[in-house]
Amino acid sequence: MSFSLDVKREMSRIEVTEACCKKSELAGILRAGLTMRNTPDRFRLLFSTENAPLSRRVFILAKEIYGLDPGVSGRRTRRFRNRSIYQLNFSGLINDRQELLNDIGLSISPDSGEMRYMNYRVRKRCCKRAYLRGGFLAAGSISDPDKSYHLEVSFRSQLQADEYIQYLNDFGLQPRSIQRKGYYLAYLKEGQEIVDFLNVTGAHKALMNLENIRIMKEMRNQVNRIVNCETANLSKTVDASLRQTESIRFIQEHAGLDSLPDALREIALLRLENPGVSLAELGRMMEPPLSKSGVNHRLRKIERIALSMGFNTGS
């Protein structure tokens, strides 16, 4: 089961007690989810979903709020994957209950079947939450957060998308919008924005799951950054140690280490005996101990002497 379907199933089971919120949620669902099918004998106004709890929720809300009894049917489809599709038939509204359609900001021509979307005002904050939830339930999707952060809701008109975005703005969310394949999309791309959306719409279990995934991803990223940093530092240390050792051996072969001052000869011998240790460790081996910067200063002097004698660092 996808993360998106998990979120929708959780939202479909959220208990709503206020009549105004029930109506707003149903309006959000139907405005975003109703489709018109042109069959040979008539127009069919349908709501389709693969989310069984959502189909039950729409049926119950339609019956409770408007006294409707939409016909329910199910079918199996093998498109993309073997799954069930549930359809609720609202075709009776086209000719007999236009006032109900107007109540949710819809107008349908009985002759042409053309659907027109009108402004739908939601004033109360609790109802805006319900409306946003309804829109997502009907026409939204969310990507697997293990892979990417992306949440979108698609609409058939610019007016619907603009209204939805305005209600998101009322909760401090700043979605982007785009037109794609004849649809108008409102979408969120940041993990924190999606967390806030789930909080606004009441999907708290999904919110916690997403937060846990975000924490694990951040921990993995932090570990990777540390490992990469340590690997880079280790590589620099190895390169420096190799360069220092080669410089010392060059001096040893061409002039002998006795040609070096006592302080430089001591650190040169220690480096030859301990090519893999850090500068700090070399410093602790000396009598008396020498700081890391002091060790580095002496080894650089040795490198300069080797260079002056003709040592080639690229050889």
Sorting pLDDT into bands at 50, 70 and 90, what band is 180? very high
Rounded mean pLDDT of 72-83? 70
Structure token pair of residue 88: 């609720």
Domains of the chain: 3-202 (3.10.28.10), 235-308 (no CATH)
What's the pLDDT score for residue 242?
A: 87
The model's pTM is 0.72
Distance CA 293, CA 315 (A): 27
Distance CA 46, CA 33 (A): 8
Name beta bridge partners: 155: 184
Higher per-residue pLDDT: 146 or 78: 146
Rounded mean pLDDT of 56-76? 87
- 3-state secondary structure (DSSP) of residue 156: coil
Residue whose token pair is 């040979």: 40
Residue whose token pair is 């040609």: 259
The answer to whether the beta carbons of residues 16 and 25 sit under 8 Å apart is yes
Interval 217-241: pLDDT, tens: 888 888 888 888 878 877 888 888 8
